Chains A and B, each alone.
Chain A
Amino acid sequence: MVTTHVTDVLIIGAGLAGERAAIEASSHGLNVTILSLVPPRRSHSTAAQGGMQASLGNCAMGRGDNPDIHFVDTVRGSDWGCDQDVARLFVETVPIAVRQMAYWGVPWSRVVAGKRTLPDGRVIEEEPEYEGLINARDFGGTAKWRTCYTADGTGHTLQYTMDSIVIKMGITVHDRMEAIALIHNGERCLGAVARCLRTGALTAYLARATVIATGGYGRLYGASTNAVINEGTGMSLALDTGMVPLGNMEAVQFHPTGLVPVWILITEGARGDGGYLLDKNEYRFMPDYEPKKKELASRDVVSRRMIQHMRKGFGVDSPYGPHLWLDIRHLGAKHINTNLREIANICRNFVGVDPVHQLIPVRPTQHYSMGGVRTNIDGKAYGLKGLFAVGEAACWDLHGFNRLGGNSLAETIVAGMIVGQKIAEYALGADLEFSSRLVEERIRRQEARLADLIYGRNGKENVYHLRREMEQTLMDYVGIFRNGKDLETAVARLQELHQRSRHIGLVSSGRGASPELTSALRLPGMIRLALCIAYGALQRTESRGSHAREDYPRRDDVNWLKRTLSYWPPDADLPELKYEPVKITELPPGDRGYGESSAQSGTGSNPQKA
């Protein structure tokens, strides 16, 4: 039988964004329930190693940093695709967020006074006055060293600390519990139907406010650095209401060097230190394409060249598809085992390659989803009252068409704080009124969906085959490099797959917590997300941030300084696209040219109380 769970605030997702929002809502005396596919500490947030941006200005290379400089970096990084009022609110709040995490227990790396030589030979000196304050490291696209970190485990320490507060506050967490549909009455969201991943049983969660904090959709792509649970399920739930739009789904970030076939990130440090890219003939091809910058052209450029070269047939064949080589052998054992130790360990542990003597198989890999459930600055989803979204699942919209490294962990926590407050305000003023007929009807619908799959009433399509085809279609036609013809192909194929996904039949019995049933429930929604990406990209006839059209290589502010909103009307085969202007409050569109000019706008003062 279906059980019912009533709570004030239902948070779907226990990553940093969901847990931070839960803490905020709970601190207002509200009853909060968190759902998660996995124990909270296994969420994808744990995997982030690099760090979190906050303009504390404590370290020598961060001196003079302040929210204004962080703002400029963020807006430029977004290629003017972000809402500037959101970016402003974000940069002002993030120092508080970082300090609060320190108060709660994150062992941030701290400033140590004294001189030190950087790998490039520059000598810097940390002043005693700043000793013991939170340190920062260098990250791409920032004018100052601003990325706060804990050794190589920033995400891990943030998530563990956040979760310790959730545990301390006694917030209810139902892990291995997957939301599979939202409950709403056409105006208001009333909660969600969830399926237990231990037993397969359904539960109706009823709440005054419902929050989607389910992370990104990296796993729609065959090659992604994301955790395997990042399948965009929360975005699907919102899209499937037919009323809530997703924003900028075509904005997908890639990283040049994912390790084949496990797609673990190999950081830019390898190329920074002098690593080369080679093709199947062990020929160094980058200088042919980018004679000046070679392997060190920007992330998107290198990724694009790699794909181009593989399309010409120079990829190395492997059971996992074509790839290229990263060669660091010439750097020597000493350098590799000290300066590039993390990379070396990953290669040895995960693909059994010793980079001192062997080539590293790499391929550009999906990395981050800028798009998501479109919300306003308060985190309220468009289209349904009582529905909110935070973190990578949301299009708040801080990142526009390209997010800067270190701005995403920061977003999860800052948005969790700010939106959590708005959720509390909303929930405190909202009743918990629902018609039991409506709730029953919503549950029936899900029961019918399960039964059709379990009893094979839909057909015989294999869920894993369809999934592979979807992944491959996105990789081949909606990757780093886009053009009208490929995107049309992708849309047509995905539409066909979408049709076929209505006829999935299980091979197993589907009973209990069947993993095959879990995949079968998710896949049609995933294909709809894929269509939002592909169709949105097809319509956007310009290049902006991560969205690079070969046939429209320039940014077009006259026609495209706007955000895509994808709706999915009932029984449709394609999303319905609408557009809205991006909010420009302070910084008019200009040249992106990272870094130098914005570095000069620093005031040199110490932003102590920012």
Chain B
Amino acid sequence: MPNRELTFKIFRYNPASHEVTPHLQTYRLNETEGMTLFVALNRIREEQDPSLMFDFVCRAAICGSCGMLINGRPGLACKTLTRTLPKQITLLPLPVFKLIGDLSVDTGTWFRHLSLKTEAWIHTDKEFDPTAREDRMDNATALKIYEAERCIECGCCIAGCATANIRQEFLGAAGLNRVARFMVDPRDLRSGRAFYEIVGNNDGAFGCIGLMACEDNCPAQLPLQQQLAFVRRRMAALGLKL
């Protein structure tokens, strides 16, 4: 496969200037050893088209900035090797999120809204005492919280989710996973009822149709299916009691 010439078809549109309509633009690039989409896109921008917009921050699959549709599938561009793709590569911005320009979308605003909506912080009436030793926690619990907290807010699960694509306020797998993170945290003193109010509706657990596109697309390989089931079970149990 060495010395391939790659053809990139990249979505171009800048909502800030209506001079051009959305279209796919073609660029050609010679593949190099170990080339990722991070390397390729930067080369295109520096050598061919400095107006091209896309987002990378960590370039190490940690920060969640570079989600895009890569030949139709949501994924992280920084950890996608060109050698795993055919010669023709189509890149589109993630759907659902507001477009900033070309491949760049506003996942930040979406996820901040999600945090506000689900009140994604520890709810407690305990005061912090700087002179006291920390409260104990069992390590298995700490690991369980971390397991749900590993989400990098890349938006790939949202972009590939049928419900999220039609219903604006749907929390999606990332949202339900976020709620699960606080449900398993013993420091969060919210009642089951309080959680029910957040997820016991069509924007939450009941809007999910369970096709699991989310888990397939999650680059952090979060067990989203398990987390969704966990939230649903908790809600169902609560429903019986209510």
CB distance from A171 to the nearest CB of B (A): 11
A262 touches B52 (CB 8 A): no
Does A243 sit at the interface, judged by CB under 8 A?
no
Tell me if B29 counts as interface (CB < 8 A to partner A): no
- Bound-state Cα–Cα, A103 to B81, Å: 40
CB-CB < 8 A to B79: which residues of A?
349-350
Are A153 and B146 in contact, CB atoms less than 8 angstroms apart?
yes
Neighbouring B residues of A511 by C-beta, 8 Å = 17
B57 CB–A CB distance under 8 Å: yes
Assess whether A100 is in contact with B128, with CB atoms less than 8 Å apart: yes
With both chains docked as a complex, state the minimum distance between the C-beta of A60 and any C-beta of chain B, in angstroms.
Answer: 14
Instruction: Provide the residues of chain A in CB contact with B63, threshold 8 Å.
Output: 38, 41-43, 46-47, 227
- Is the CB–CB distance between B121 and A132 below 8 Å? no
Interface string of B29-47 (1 = CB under 8 A from A): 0001110101100000111
| A464 to chain B: closest residue by CB | B46
- Kindly state whether residue B139 has any CB partner on chain A within 8 Å: yes
Specify which of B64, B81, B142, B185 is in contact with A42 (CB 8 Å cutoff): B64
The answer to whether A515 and B38 have CB atoms under 8 Å apart is: no
Q: Among residues 130 to 165 in chain B, which have CB atoms less than 8 Å away from a CB atom of chain A?
A: 130-139, 141-143, 145-146, 149-150, 152-153
Closest partner residue, chain B, to A164 (CB atom):
B121
Stretch with Cβ within 8 A of A (4 or more), from B109-117, B166-174, B227-235: B109-117
Binding site of B, secondary structure by majority: helix, strand, loop or mixed? loop
* A577 interface residue per 8 A CB criterion: no
Q: Which residues of A contact B138 (CB under 8 A)?
A: 110, 132
Chain A residues numbered 175-205 whose CB sits less than 8 Å from any CB in chain B: 175-176, 198-200
Tell me the residues in window 190-249 of chain A with beta carbons closer than 8 Å to chain B beta carbons: 198-200, 227-229
B149 and A38 form a contact (CB under 8 A): no
- Per-residue B-contact encoding for A94-128, CB less than 8 Å = 1, 0 else: 00101110111101111110000000000000000
Chain B residue with the shortest CB-CB distance to A349:
B79
A354 at the interface (CB under 8 A from B): no
Residues of chain B with a CB closer than 8 A to A454's CB:
none
Given A156-B150, A515-B45: A351 and B34 interface contact (C-beta under 8 Å): yes
Interface string of B163-190 (1 = CB under 8 A from A): 0000000000000000000000101100
Q: Which residues of A contact B119 (CB under 8 A)?
A: 168
Mask: chain B, 93-135; 1 = CB below 8 Å from A; 0 = not: 0000000110000111101100110011110001010111111
Chain A residues lying within 8 Å of B222, measured Cβ to Cβ, are: none
Please state if B137 and A105 are interface contacts (CB–CB under 8 Å): no
User: A275 on the interface (CB 8 Å rule)?
Assistant: no
Check B143–A261 contact: CB distance below 8 A: no
- State the main secondary structure of chain A at its contact with B: loop
Minimum C-beta distance from A366 to chain B (A): 14
**Which of the four size classes fits the interface of chain B?**
35 or more
Given A168-B121, A199-B16, A464-B46, residue A608 in contact with residue B133 (CB < 8 A) = yes
Given contacts A157-B146, A167-B121, A513-B100, contact A109 B107 (CB under 8 A): no
Contact across chains for A132 and B137 when beta carbons are under 8 A apart: yes
**A228 and B139 within 8 A (CB):** no
- Nearest-neighbour CB distance to chain A for B27, whole angstroms, equals 14
Cβ contact of A39, chosen from B58, B59, B108, cutoff 8 A = B108
CB neighbours (8 Å) of B115 from chain A are 163-164, 167
Task: Determine which of B58, B78, B112, B133 lies in contact with A167 in the assembled complex, contact meaning CB atoms within 8 Å.
Answer: B112
Of the four ranges (under 10, 10 to 19, 20 to 34, 35 or more), the interface on chain A belongs to 35 or more
CA distance A47 to B83 in the complex (A): 26
A511 to B16, CA, bound (A): 9
Residues A516 and B150 in contact, CB atoms below 8 Å apart: no
Given A110-B138, A319-B33, answer yes or no on A264-B60 (Cβ-Cβ < 8 Å). Answer: yes
Contacts of A109 in B (CB 8 A): 139, 142-143
Task: Tell which of B34, B52, B134, B139 touches A102, judged by Cβ atoms closer than 8 Å.
Answer: B134
Using known A-B contacts A157-B149, A164-B115, A352-B81, determine if residue A39 contacts B134 with beta carbons closer than 8 Å. Answer: no
Give every chain A residue within 8 A of B36 (Cβ-Cβ). 262, 350-351
Say whether A464 contacts B134, CB under 8 Å.
no
CB–CB A112/B150 < 8 A: no
Q: Does A251 sit within 8 A of B, measured CB to CB?
A: no
Is A559 an interface residue, CB under 8 A from the partner?
no
B17, B32, B34, B122 — which one has the most chain A CB atoms within 10 A of its CB? B34
Contacting residues, chain B, for A361 (C-beta < 8 A) = 34
Residues of A within 8 A of B59 (CB): 227-228, 262, 264
A569 located at the interface, meaning its Cβ lies under 8 Å from any Cβ of chain B in the complex: no
In the complex, whether B65 has a CB less than 8 A from a CB of chain A is yes
Most chain B CB neighbours (cut-off 10 Å) among A157, A163, A349:
A349
Interface residue from A135, A163, A508, A509 paired with B139 (Cβ < 8 Å): A135
Name A105's contact: one of B60, B136, B150, B185 (CB within 8 Å).
Answer: B185
A165 with B17, Cβ < 8 A, contacts A110-B137, A133-B136 known: no
With A46-B58, A262-B38 already in contact, the answer to whether A99 and B130 are too (CB < 8 A) is yes
Which residues of A are found within 8 Å of B100, using beta-carbon distances?
176, 198, 513
Q: Is the CB of B112 within 8 A of A107?
A: no
From B62, which residue of chain A is reached at the shortest CB distance?
A47
Residues of B with C-beta under 8 A to A352: 34, 81, 83-84
Contact B58 A160, beta carbon cutoff 8 Å: no
Whether the Cβ atoms of A353 and B134 lie closer than 8 Å is no
Determine if A507 is an interface residue (Cβ-Cβ < 8 Å). Answer: yes
Q: Are B134 and A99 in contact (CB under 8 A)?
A: yes
Contact between A47 and B33, CB atoms less than 8 A apart:
no
Query: Are B139's CB and A513's CB within 8 A?
Result: no
What CA separation (Å) do A200 and B59 show in the bound complex? 24
Q: How distant is the Cα of A262 from the Cα of B35 in the complex, in angstroms?
A: 9
Chain A residues lying within 8 Å of B65, measured Cβ to Cβ, are 38, 42
A131 to B137, CA, bound (A): 8
CA distance A163 to B126 in the complex (A): 20
Contact (Cβ within 8 A) B17 A512: yes
A512 touches B83 (CB 8 A): no
Identify 5 new A-B residue pairs, CB closer than 8 A, beyond the known A100-B128, A132-B136: A41-B111, A99-B133, A228-B57, A260-B34, A351-B34
A residues near B (Cβ < 8 Å) are: 38-39, 41-44, 46-47, 96, 98-100, 102-105, 107-112, 131-135, 150-151, 153, 156-157, 160, 163-165, 167-168, 173, 175-176, 198-200, 227-229, 260-262, 264, 318-319, 346, 349-353, 361, 463-464, 506-509, 511-516, 608-609
Contact sample, A vs B, 27 pairs, CB 8 Å cutoff: A42-B57, A47-B60, A99-B130, A102-B134, A105-B121, A107-B143, A107-B145, A107-B146, A109-B139, A150-B142, A164-B121, A164-B122, A168-B119, A168-B121, A175-B108, A176-B108, A260-B34, A262-B39, A318-B33, A346-B60, A464-B46, A464-B50, A509-B51, A512-B17, A513-B100, A513-B101, A514-B51
